Amino acid sequence: MPEILDLARNQVLERGVGLDEEGVLAVLRLPDEHISGALQLAHEVRMRWCGPEVEVEGIVSLKTGGCPEDCHFCSQSGLFTSPVRSVWLDIPSLVEAAKQTAATGATEFCIVAAVRGPDERLMKQMREGVAAIKAAVDIQVAASLGMLSQSQVDELVEMGVHRYNHNLETCRSYFANVVTTHTWEERWDTLRMVRDSGMEVCCGGILGLGESIEQRAEFAAQLAALDPHEVPLNFLNPRPGTPLGDRPVVDGKDALRAIAAFRLAMPRTILRYAGGREITLGDLGTRDGLLGGINAVIVGNYLTTLGRPAEEDLALLDDLKMPVKALSATL
């Protein structure tokens, strides 16, 4: 057994203290023959500190495409030639999407908009949309609307938005290679205000943007320092027309190492499989991840790419004897 896994067993599994940057790096560098041992340990950590429940979430795009920012992985940027055009969803469609999400057994419904930050029009849509959802559907509402001002944070709390997603995307030292229209620190400021407001913080990122293994470890450590309630872990699904459209996908074994390493860095967080798992790991990878530290999934489609049908994921959870987290347990 490699030394790092012994250390993780004592420190993370027994005491619930996550690995530091150096420890994460050691997991990311484990030889192939120790990947299954790392995943097994990450699974034990998840069962011990989070339990067997899996949180299921649906996402809907309130405003798609036409974003003024230049995140190099994103097909919703209006600055690239990617084929996603600006579209707004109306309130009845938003409510219908929330109903469909609730029907899958999901407890979370996240409203997403491709913007630098919300303008008055978007905040008005949110006010009306969240109220309409709350009147019609029993589900928790989360939001992801870019960078916020303090008054917008306060307003979202007032509306009853319980969790806010804002991804740091990658580590601080690599961020400027991926985004030039705003800074890592600006994202961090929003996260700090969200945390102070009492909303749950959801913050993760994308692996495979060209960052080094060391920078992957740096990212895990920076996320752990933020201590988010939830971490969505994406793997780059290169989108045609974006500056990262030609990047290779993350090697499946590296993706599994990363899943184990991020869980060992953050024993208590909700670690969610988000986009890119299908092309990086294939169908089998979903099972491997859920037995390797992942305890939340997004059902149905992602924002600009198709995911697996919800029924397949729910059948898999049933097969693995992992109950879907119930709404009553989260309210």
What does the binding site for ligand SF4 look like in residue numbers (CB under 6 A)?
Answer: 67, 69, 71, 74, 76-77, 114, 146
Whether the Cβ atoms of residue 318 and residue 104 lie closer than 8 Å to each other = no
- Amino acid of residue 294: I
Whether the Cβ atoms of residue 67 and residue 78 lie closer than 8 Å to each other = yes
The residue among 70 and 254 lying less far from ligand SF4, judged by its C-beta, is 70
Nearest to 124 by CA among 96, 148, 85, 159: 159
Round to whole Å and give the CA distance between 10 and 17: 9
The residue among 113 and 299 lying less far from ligand SF4, judged by its C-beta, is 113
Shortest Å, Cβ 274 to ligand SF4: 13
The residue among 71 and 110 lying less far from ligand SF4, judged by its C-beta, is 71
The residue among 48 and 116 lying less far from ligand SF4, judged by its C-beta, is 116
Phi, psi for residue 292 in degrees, rounded to 5: -140, 20
The residue among 76 and 295 lying less far from ligand SF4, judged by its C-beta, is 76
50: Cβ contacts below 8 Å, ≥ 6 apart = 267, 268, 269, 270, 295
Shortest Å, Cβ 213 to ligand SF4: 23
171: Cβ contacts below 8 Å, ≥ 6 apart = 211, 215, 216, 218, 219, 222
Shortest Å, Cβ 74 to ligand SF4: 3
Whether the Cβ atoms of residue 62 and residue 125 lie closer than 8 Å to each other = yes
Shortest Å, Cβ 88 to ligand SF4: 14
Shortest Å, Cβ 66 to ligand SF4: 9
The residue among 102 and 235 lying less far from ligand SF4, judged by its C-beta, is 235
The residue among 37 and 117 lying less far from ligand SF4, judged by its C-beta, is 117
Place of tokens 């209006």: 78
Shortest Å, Cβ 76 to ligand SF4: 4
Give CA separation, 221 vs 5, 19, 83, 94, 225, in Å.
17, 8, 35, 36, 6
Shortest Å, Cβ 16 to ligand SF4: 32
Place of tokens 């109306």: 90
User: DSSP string covering 19-54, please?
Assistant: P-HHHHHHHHT--GGGHHHHHHHHHHHHHHHT-S-B
Torsion sign across C-alpha atoms 311, 141, 287, 276: positive
Shortest Å, Cβ 219 to ligand SF4: 16
The residue among 74 and 265 lying less far from ligand SF4, judged by its C-beta, is 74
